[in-house]
Amino acid sequence: MRSMKLDIIKGVPGVQGKNVNIFKTNTPGLVKFQAGLSLTKKFYITHIEWEHKEGRSAGKAAVGAIGGGILAGPLGLIAGAALGGKKNEVSTAVLYLKDEQTEKEDHLYVRMKAKEYEALYSWLT
């Protein structure tokens, strides 16, 4: 994977908003962020901290249970609740960045899944 979209929680100057594109470069640890059509910034990722969390949606479980119960009776009620309340990943990561030009250090807070974290972490070496 040479690029991915990040869901930014708290950005840094020039890297803000939802679905910011990040691209791997040929230099280990150096990434290019693209926010919008033309604005790009390059940073070295010096370190990543990742906090894995999973949650269940009670509202989706209730909707699934009602729908399953209506369509298939008691067994559908159980199956609908199980499918509707499946786990969803809500993990966050802190990317420690160093600006390529100014060498100023900053933090970028993002939401990401385990596969995205593993891919991004592999870009550091």
Q: Are residues 94 and 46 in the same domain?
A: yes
**Number of domains observed in the structure of the chain:** 2
pLDDT the model gives residue 74: 59
Q: Are residues 41 and 101 in the same domain?
A: yes
Q: Are residues 60 and 48 in the same domain?
A: no
Domain that holds residue 60: 54-88
Closest CA to 100 of 51, 9, 31, 22: 31
pLDDT the model gives residue 70: 60
Q: Residue 34: which residues within 8 A CB-CB, separation 6 or more? A: 20, 21, 22, 23, 40
pLDDT the model gives residue 87: 63
Q: Which pTM was predicted?
A: 0.68
For the chain (125 residues), the mean pLDDT of every run of 10, in chain order, is 88 78 93 80 92 64 56 57 60 92 91 89 90
pLDDT the model gives residue 34: 87
pLDDT the model gives residue 24: 94
